[in-house]
Amino acid sequence: MSPIAANLSNADMNELAAYFTKQRPAAPSHKTAPENAAAGPKLAQQFNCVQCHGPALLGLQHIPRLAGQQFAYLKAQLRGFKAGTRGEFDGNMSSAAQPLSEKDIEILTDYLSGLAPLRD
């Protein structure tokens, strides 16, 4: 993003932010396996996903929404954080991902991908 954003003025960035703020995510097309729908909330609590991303995993302030994100995207990001190949500002996600097993990643990504991405 840096090369693309380098020439944007503050006004340009504010205009883009206003546009993206008005966009609403589509309903998830992913269907969570029943066993992962049951195990997912416990893992989200255990690994503090809800502490940073919010109780409904819809994001908080600068922390992104997880609910309804694409399965392959979430899996790639969690694997990247665990491997230390996914960049981040403060290291919180890399630390949080370290104890995740591959099975935990599968369950969490399946669960998160099937959640409704909209606030009530």
Question: What are φ and ψ of residue 63, in 5° steps?
Answer: -85, 125
Average pLDDT over residues 83-91: 89
Largest CA distance in the chain: 48
Q: Which one, of 84, 105, 104, lies nearest residue 95 by Cα?
A: 84
Q: What is the pLDDT of residues 66-76, one digit of tens each?
A: 999 999 999 99
Q: What is the pLDDT of residues 11-32, one digit of tens each?
A: 999 999 899 888 888 777 899 9
pTM value? 0.80
What's the distance, CA 78 to chain centroid? Answer: 9
